[in-house]
Amino acid sequence: MIDYSVQDSVAFIRYNRPEKLNALNNEGFAELAAALRRFDHDDDALVGVLHGAGRAFSTGADLKERLGAVAAGTSDGRRLPNEGPEILACDNWKPLIAAVHGYAIGHAFGTAMTCDLVVASEETVFSVPEAVMGVPSAQFWEQIAAAAGTRFATDVVLTGRRVTAVEAREFGLLTRVVPSGEHLTAAAALAREIAAYPQAALRETIRYRRGVLSAALLRATNATGHFKWNASGQFQESVRARADS
């Protein structure tokens, strides 16, 4: 589900489950984490580009396997595998660029925001549907609020509404918006530009930036950790309805 290649000091990490719009199940998240670890320790790669095959960056977590299992009581939603630690607690602090197109939904939206730079194709649509399904979204709120402000973050998280690339850029969530289909080319050019600079100082900036983000996400997790959302009847009904649709 995840491909890895290196060209001109740039690692390309690709979601490759296009038949599911790159939604990842538990196996896919394990593969993504492994690819990020490989990038972190790959001496041939200075900058990474995360992108998606087919029509979308990613529609997030596979609903049936991930949240469906939580709703059925066969999985603990607080211990599902994810790639966050491989970005926020890595060893070498290499810059990571998200090249986004089509859809960046839920978990994938959060992953893109965790990346250091985000280049988006102009048709891209973002959304955070977790809250309207009954899943805590404090971490999403922290990520969006840090760039776009608390009012915008609250709007996006509480409504689950779709946000266009133009609106996301206006609110500071994106680095660049490019014409449709040019997201990967633009991200690769940006990566090569960054790879040409002295790396030590850049990595110190990345280390600090991710440290600030990590502290904010930990604060959000600790503040909402008491909420037993997986036991909510409304959550279970919402997931079943969406999984069957």
* Structural domains of the chain in order of their starting residue, each with its CATH number: 2-181+198-244 (3.90.226.10)
φ, ψ dihedrals at 241, nearest 5° = -65, -45
pLDDT one-digit tens code per residue, 2-46? 999 999 999 999 999 999 999 999 899 999 999 999 999 999 999
pLDDT for position 19: 96
pTM of the entire predicted model: 0.91
Query: CA of 224: how far to CAs of 2, 46, 164, 229, 230, in Å?
Result: 31, 36, 29, 10, 13
DSSP state of 177: E
Q: Work out the pLDDT band at 126, boundaries 50, 70, 90.
A: very high
pLDDT for position 232: 60
What is the rounded average pLDDT of the residues 125-142?
A: 88
Q: Is 5 helix (H, G, I), strand (E, B) or coil?
A: strand
Centroid of chain to Cα 220: 17
* Structure token pair of residue 68: 């469906």
φ, ψ dihedrals at 56, nearest 5° = -150, 155
Is the pLDDT confidence value at 127 over 70?
A: yes
pLDDT one-digit tens code per residue, 154-213? 999 999 999 999 999 999 999 999 999 999 999 999 999 999 999 999 999 999 999 999
Question: Rg for the chain (alpha carbons), in Å?
Answer: 17
Handedness of CA 69, 138, 97, 82 (dihedral sign): negative
Q: Is 199 helix (H, G, I), strand (E, B) or coil?
A: helix
Is the pLDDT confidence value at 243 over 60?
A: no
